[in-house]
Structures are given as structure tokens and as C-alpha cells.
Chains A and B, each alone.
Chain A
């Protein structure tokens, strides 16, 4: 997030696209609703009329996968009606002409054809956004989980730059991260192209810095593989060993049948986990790990805040902290690592090697002697120990990369669209009462509230197919088929089916399409074609 949760309550207007905070980020939704009570305006664009959509001043029920066309349509109005922030663009941005050329080909009427949002609504959104400043744009996986995910993301920043909504409080482009430490895992360099702190593996100086710190002669310069490419390389044996740390890929990746074929073909799989999962079935070695509450450490939240995580109990049996497991493997491969606790790893390595965290030390986020746990975490960038942390990025329009770069972006449809045989669109996500593949929530009593998966369908489709609420139906795609209870809800428009991936039975990923954004390799979880049948 460029900005912070603390700014939500004073926001004047929100533009929420592809985010259902009420279920996926409930506490963020509270903040939005509190701002609405204080008079903030709310614009929601989402295929589902979810709880916040119902509270919106303007709701755009966009078709799945039409985000770029819809956003281009809004920007078209801003340009044609001369409603954009010329001063901000002149001073802080570049490549404006490319954007202009592209979006001029998306008049609201064309955007309407693609997105299903009436041209009048698109105009109204543009005029409202231009009239109220700053606006806070938030998105979640509804934007990223498409074959055009990167383009969707860039379109949101195009819009915010065009409106000059960056570099100030209660503004910005704010992706809400799905998991507690996705931000942190990225920050730590668990990415194929960057070291901790987003320092490129291709940069010679950076490479030398890390080689010296890690006591090795050389480090690989070539960026590595992303998850889908790793898995695709298992059957061909290009990747012979696959180390899976705390991920249940067999349930969470798209097209389970395909994923399990890949995992089943692997020569050697190692899993660190706290439970047996559908994925550990494929493991050759399973290493028992310490869980949350069983070790000290830090998580980094969506707002770039490095927060402390604390130990209250011992890990069961012989389970060990994951950092220790990696250190022990390194030792057996001839490398003695010095740091012997999470505190030493952070204070002596991470914050020394990554300039953005240089000012973050355990002592600063731990609290004082008398009140040892009273401190809030610090937000990066935090370049030195006197720095208070950074609440929002790009202050006064000064972008990290220099100038804010506009990109002209063309809309592309999802890889698989509905047809006569598979006439419904399936979109997927997460529900309030569970979390991912339920490894944690199923063992915490939440099954009491939500005991099984459902296929959420519209009243109109239910009526047409004679399906009653709670009745079992069959949902099938070209990749698989599941039997699941229908949940008939006003949130869903006709033609759409919405499912989650919390349960093995009825898991949406038996159906989802294993196609990916060409650059980010994010799967198109949000769009594929399915058919819906009444059973019996």
C-alpha cells in the first residue's frame, strides 16, 4: 500500500475495485464504514454486489475481467471533459501522451459494451472522482488474479496519477495483501529476481554486497523461476528437487488435477509444515515446523509495517523453527551461519543488507523496559534509526523511480470465456469464516459456522434451473467437476458463479484455469467458463 490504514477514517472518498474487504480484510472494512459514517463517499466496482457495494454511493457491477476497459473509460471521461490534474502530471509524471492515445479509444460507450457498466455511470464516477480530492483507491486479488493482472494494476495507478491522488494522506494505490506476511515474504527476497529489500539479483554491486555478507565467492545473476514454471519443470525433471515451505499447493493452485500430476511426478519434494496437508502427500521428506506463537519474529503488513510476533509456548514434540531448519541444511552443505535467533537474523542481517529497513531494529519495535510490548511496528522505508518510518509513499508526488510512468493499456479478455457448452463465468475468492485451505481455521472451530463449500448463484439462474437454496448442484469446467451446495444470493448477478477454495470437496480449484499473467505469473483464479447443473 502506498498509504496506511490509519488514514482510512479521514478519507473523503474511496474507490474500491476487486476487493471485498468485509470478508477478506474485515478490520479494513470497519475503517471504511466508519469513514462513511463521517461522510466519506464510496465508489465500488465489483462483479458481486457485496456488503460494501450495497453501501456505495455509486456501484459499478462490472463484468469479470473487464477492469482495464472500465478504468480506461473513466480516464477517457477525465480527459475529454478536462477533469484531470494537469499540474500533478506536468510536475511528476511522464509518458502522458501514450496514456492519452490509448484511453481516447475507450469512450464510455465502448467501456459499457465491454464492462456492462452503463456509460452514464462511468461518467458519473469520473466526475465524482474529479470533484473530490484526495481519493483512496484500494484493490485486492480481483485486480491481480487475471491473465491481465499486471495491466489491471497499472490501470489503477494510471487513474490515480491522472487525478493527482498520490503522495498525500488518504490517497494512493492500496493493494490489501491477502496473507499476513505476503508483504514480508516479498520484502525478504523470496522472489526470483530480487534480494531482500527489492535489490536486483542482476546488479553486480548488489551481488557483491550480498556475497560478501554471506561469505560466498559467487551468487547467481540469472533470475529464477516463478511457482508455475517451477511446477511445470517437475514432470520434465528440469527441476528435480522442490522445497515447499508452508504452502498447500495441491489445494491452492489452479486446476488441482493438473497440479497433482506435476507434484506426483517430482523426483524429490521436501515440505516444512505444521500439519499434514494435501501437499505433504507428495513429499519425500516432511520437516515439522514451529507455528505462530512458538517463536519470536516479525510480520510485515499491507501498510509496510514491520510488527513483532511473539512466542508464548514451545513447539510440540521435535518441531523446530523454520529459520533453524534452513540454517541446519546450510550447515550440512558446508555453510556455517552465525545468526542464531530471529532477532539476530533481523538486526544483524536483514536491516544491515536492505537499506529500506536499516532503521528498523527489534529494540525499536519491542517497546521500552517498563512496558515491553507497547510499541507499534515501524513502516518501511525506514532508512536510519532516527527515522520515524514512512506513513505514505511518494510524498509531494516524488516517486521512488523519479517520475510516475503512465502506460497506455489495452483491454484483453480472460483466457477462457463463456460459450454454449460452458455458459457461466466462475470467479473465486475467500470467505469471512475461513482462510485459504483451512489448515488453520478448520482446527480452530470455524467449521461450526461454515461447514462446507457452496456455489454462490443468482436468484435468476436458480429460478431458471429450478435450483433451491442449499440444494446440491454440479459445477463443471473443462478441467474438473464438483458437487456442491448452491447458495442463492442477491450478491451474484445472472451468469456468474462464485466459489472459494477452503474445502477439499467442492474446492473451486478443481475447476479454475491454470493460465497466468505472462509477467507476474499470477493465475487467472477470477475467471473461467463453467456449466451449472441441478442434481437429481
Chain B
């Protein structure tokens, strides 16, 4: 007989590999959480995921609770809701959670929990201004929005193992720090942006395209990174034709959501005003002039034909591109072999 757990009156079988939070979510029962992330596992820090378990006196954190046979869990008793409200109110108290202004409005896990719990006005407000850390090239840190969930720290230390972020100070002064509490731009941070991807709120934002789009205005397109040969899977968040941000695709091989600085931030080149937009032909005086496609392509084809007839096909050689798509390289070698008639086709294969 399979072991079972009862959550909110419904019975589910389990195999012992998943937590109560995971079982509940897989079965459509919403338990809020802020520090838990599928890639990081249980952290038991935020205590927003507390549930009531029959036979246990205190509330349990569902993200770290392993089920036992015939366990009975209640996810939304009055006691649970009151506890969650208190936790969230305390999180709201410490900072500047101004959704109206925030880039993560609509894609914020704290906002989702506040909405779910129906907290219209925060219970406590502490007027404490916290300085933005604007020192890094691509990442903006807003400690006023930080809820100390620790996801960025787990990501930095365990996922990408760059080991820059940690908690500093104590008690109510606890804060996320870079190295020995220096500005991010002066730290050993390499701007991979793993922390930004894992942040459940707007405490870590991308400086590129700040306030250019709300999350619901973007469409998400999966593609492959144009840099090294690892082949990381990217999720582009696009508004119109503009990439607003780049995320690693969670759960996708080979990067499982992780990226490097080039993959995450190296995309603006496609929008550069330097882009070539028209065929160009060099005049006898050495200057380039604009031309239409027909003229430029006819010139190339005629020159190739002339050279083939005068010197044979091996007097033409070509180098393909190691960055462009497979189909481009395929067509180029097909042009050289089947049309021009030479195997003089190569690319920087060995470098």
C-alpha cells in the first residue's frame, strides 16, 4: 500500500522524495512561500509556508516538512493565516515596498502573498531610508525591498559558486552583503545575475531597461545563448521588439536556469545603431556606396562566374561563421560545393 498524506481533506500518495509544500503545489493547493525555490530546496527562513499538522503542537514550515504516512495537514486554518499575516506584516515593515513604482510589479512573490492574505495596509511601518547600491554595471541593489529570504545567497554560493554574497550584521540589522560588505561594483561579483533571477521581490533589479516594462507587458521566448559553446537556454522577456530582460530557463539542460554575464546582459548589440542595413559596394575610389540587393547579388554572382570560367572553381574560397545558425552554414557549403564546384569551404573550426 502506498503511503498517503491528507492535505485540506484531500488524500495524496507520496514516495518520500518530496516535501509537503511540493506535494501540495503539485496538486493545486497553494501554500505561499518566499524563501523556497525549486532549485534551492528548503530554507525554512521566511516562515510564510507554515501549516498546521495534526498531532504537532507548533506550526510547521511546509517547505522543509517531509510527509509521514497518514499525516493530516491543514493549510489555511485561522491560526495558520494569522501566523502568515504576522510574518508578512513584519516583512513589509522593514522596507520600501512601493509596488506602483517597482519593475517587478506583477511578478513579485511578496506581492502575491500580500494579495493572497488580503493585507490592505501594512500593520507596522518603520521609517528607515536605505541606500541603493548602484555601483555595479548591470545589477541594482535596493536593500529597502529585501526580505532576507536568502535565495540570492544560496544561488551565489551553491548554484554558481561565485561566493560573493552572504548575510552580514545581526538581528533586525541583518542585511545581504557583498564580500566584506563593500559595494557590489567593487566586490568580486562577476555580474552573472543569478541573484537577480532568484530574488522573489524587487530588491535586485537589472539596470538595463529599468522601468521600461511591467512584467505582464512582456512575452517570453526561449532561445539559445549566442556566446560560448555551452549552449545555455535563455528565456527572453520581450516587449515589442525590445528584450527587457533575460532569464535562464529553469529546468532546461544544460544550464538549469544559470547564466553568465554575457548570456544575461550581452544582448544589446542586435539593437546597435552600427548595424549594417543595406548592401554596400566598394567603388574604384575605395569608398563604399549603398546598393540594392539585386545589384549587389548580381555583382557577386557575375564575379564568381567570371572567376570560375577564367581560373576554375578552386579560385574561390569561403569561410563560414561559427556564430550563425546551422542552416546558414549548410547553405554556404552547399553554395560552394554544388554551385561554385569547390570544397574550399572552412570556418574557424579548430580555434
Contact B326 A346 (CB under 8 A): yes
Given A224-B344, A376-B252: A181 touches B322 (CB 8 Å cut-off)? yes
Q: What are the residues of chain A within 8 A of B232 when measuring CB–CB?
A: 27
Question: Which one, A87-95, A317-325, A470-478, is touching chain B?
Answer: A317-325
Tell me the residues in window 447-468 of chain A with beta carbons closer than 8 Å to chain B beta carbons.
Answer: 448-449
**Interface pair A240/B315, CB less than 8 Å apart:** yes
Task: Decide yes or no whether A131 CB sits under 8 A from chain B.
Answer: no
- By a CB distance below 8 angstroms, the chain B residues around A176 are 228-230
Q: State which of B318, B329, B331 has its C-beta within 8 Å of the C-beta of A243.
A: B318
**Cβ of A521: which chain B residues have Cβ within 8 Å of it?**
350
Give the dominant DSSP class at B's interface: mixed
List the one stretch of A114-122, A293-301, A398-406, A482-490 in contact with chain B. A293-301
A84 contacts the other chain (CB 8 A): no
Docked-complex contact B282 and A223, CB < 8 angstroms: no
Cα A523 to Cα B342 in complex, Å, equals 24
Q: Which residues A117-165 have CB closer than 8 A to chain B? A: 141, 144-145, 149
What is the chain A residue whose CB lies nearest that of B260? A26
Q: Nearest Cβ distance between residue B234 and chain A, in whole angstroms?
A: 10
Complex: A119 Cα to B79 Cα, angstroms:
69
Residue B65 lies at the interface, judged by CB distance under 8 Å to chain A: no
- In the complex, what distance in Å separates the CA atom of A274 from the CA atom of B224? 19
In the bound assembly, the distance between CA atoms of A482 and B162 in angstroms comes to 33
What residues of A have a CB within 8 angstroms of the CB of B298 in the complex? 332
Do residues A305 and B231 form an inter-chain contact, with CB atoms below 8 A? Answer: yes
Give complex CA distance A364, B168 in Å.
Answer: 48
Q: Does B56 have its Cβ within 8 Å of any Cβ on chain A?
A: no
Chain B residues within 8 Å of A, Cβ to Cβ: 137-138, 158-161, 190-192, 208, 220-233, 236, 238, 241, 243, 252-255, 258-263, 265-270, 272, 274-282, 288, 292-293, 296-305, 307, 311, 313-351
Provide 27 A-B residue pairs closer than 8 Å at the C-beta atoms, listed in order of the A residue: A4-B253, A178-B228, A178-B351, A180-B227, A180-B228, A180-B231, A181-B229, A185-B324, A185-B347, A188-B320, A220-B337, A243-B319, A276-B274, A285-B299, A287-B300, A301-B231, A310-B221, A313-B270, A318-B279, A318-B293, A326-B332, A350-B330, A376-B253, A377-B231, A433-B261, A445-B268, A521-B350
Within 8 A of B (CB), among A360-398: 373-374, 376-377
Interface centre among B314, B315, B322, B335, by most A CB within 10 Å?
B322
What are the residues of chain B within 8 A of A204 when measuring CB–CB?
none
Contact of B322 (CB < 8 Å), options: A141, A179, A306, A449? A179
How far apart are the CA atoms of A171 and B67 in the complex, in Å? 37
B328 touches A321 (CB 8 A): yes
Complex alpha-carbon distance, A247 and B282, angstroms: 19
Cβ of A506 within 8 Å of any chain B Cβ, yes or no, is: no
Evaluate contact between B276 and A275: CB separation under 8 angstroms.
yes
Fill in one digit per residue for A24-39: 1 if any B CB lies within 8 Å of its CB, else 0. Answer: 1111101101101100
Judge whether B274 and A329 touch: CB under 8 Å. no
The 10 closest A-B pairs by CB, nearest first: A317-B277, A301-B231, A297-B325, A246-B321, A177-B229, A224-B343, A332-B301, A26-B260, A33-B161, A5-B254
In angstroms, Cα B227 to Cα A441, docked, is: 10
Q: CB distance B265 to A445 under 8 Å? A: yes
Q: Report chain B residues within 8 Å CB of A141.
A: 351
A444 touches B303 (CB 8 A): no
Within 8 A of B (CB), among A25-58: 25-28, 30-31, 33-34, 36-37
Nearest Cβ on chain A to B122's Cβ, whole angstroms: 37
Q: What is the chain A residue whose CB lies nearest that of B272?
A: A443
